[in-house]
Every structure is written in C-alpha cells, then in structure tokens.
C-alpha cells in the first residue's frame, strides 16, 4: 500500500479494521467457488483507491487470481485464497466459542458460590437445630 501504515502488536489484531473488512468478501467469494468469477466485491468493502490496492496485494500474495485484460477487473479465489477464507471462518467461530466459554466460566463460578453458600447456610441451620 502506498501510504505508511501504523504498525500493530500481534495481540492487537482486533483493532485492525482491514481484517474485519476483508473477512466478509473473502467468505462470500468462497461461498460461490468454483463456479463464479466476480468483480467489485473487495473494492466495495475498501473505499476508493484502497480497494484497488487491496486487490493488487491479494493477487500478488496469490489469494485471488485476476483475469487478464478485463475491465472491471474480474477475479476468483485460488487454493491459497480458499485456505484464507476457511481461516477467516474458523476465526469467526473461535471468537464465538471464546465468548460462550467466558459466559460458561462465569455461570460455573456463580453456581459454585451459590452452592457453597447454600451448603454453609444448611450446615449452620443443622448445627443450631441439633447442637445448640
């Protein structure tokens, strides 16, 4: 890309908007593979000149293949692009599973706290009823 981009640490990937913007068109291209060739899908998610740069980078990296001498530029996924699209789908599912896992962890902690407090209250009631 022509302009200088701010570098990010690896754990800050959620702050990078281009990953999120690229995920949707790549998954859409994957859904129609191998029958269709498309134009303008990636460019719509990246406004202006950035869209053409992203298409050039994806072509250079081998994720899509641009059909030569076509205007507008027609492209389709390559095997490497399919791997990338599947990785994006897995990323989406793993984010969902992580959210669900965190909810289950909280639910488990609450059950332990309520169960422990119930056991404590029952024990105290038993003690005061029979031993006092």
Domain boundaries, the chain: 10-130
Q: What are the helix (H) ranges across 65-78? A: none
CA 71 to CA 38: how far, in whole Å?
12
Check residue 1 and give its pLDDT.
45
* 0.85 exceeded by pTM: no
For the domain 10-130, what is the CATH code? Answer: 1.10.10.10
CA 100 to CA 103: how far, in whole Å?
5
Check residue 110 and give its pLDDT.
95
Given a cut of 60, is residue 3 above it in pLDDT?
no
**pLDDT tens figures, 24-82:** 788 878 877 777 777 777 777 777 677 788 888 888 888 888 888 878 888 888 888 88
Q: Which residue has the tokens 């599912």?
A: 93
For residue 41, what are the CA distances in angstroms to 9, 38, 55, 126? 29, 7, 10, 70
Q: Are 70 and 76 in contact (CB under 8 A)?
A: no
Tokens representing residue 63 in the block: 């994720």
Tokens representing residue 38 in the block: 């498309």
Q: Are 59 and 34 in contact (CB under 8 A)?
A: no
Q: At a CB cut-off of 8 Å and minimum separation 6, what does 72 contact?
A: 39, 40
Q: Are 111 and 72 in contact (CB under 8 A)?
A: no
């Amino acid at each position: 890309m022509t302009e200088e981009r701010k570098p990010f640490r690896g754990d800050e990937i959620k702050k990078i908007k281009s990953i999120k913007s690229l995920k949707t068109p790549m998954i859409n291209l994957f859904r129609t593979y191998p029958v269709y060739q498309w134009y303008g899908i990636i460019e719509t998610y990246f406004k202006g000149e950035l869209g053409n740069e992203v298409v050039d980078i994806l072509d250079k990296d081998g994720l899509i293949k641009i059909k030569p001498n076509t205007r507008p530029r027609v492209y389709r996924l390559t095997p490497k692009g399919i791997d990338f699209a599947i990785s994006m789908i897995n990323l989406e599912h793993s984010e969902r599973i992580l959210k669900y896992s965190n909810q289950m962890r909280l639910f488990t902690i609450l059950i332990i706290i309520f169960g422990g407090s119930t056991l404590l209250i029952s024990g105290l009631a038993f003690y005061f009823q029979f031993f006092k």
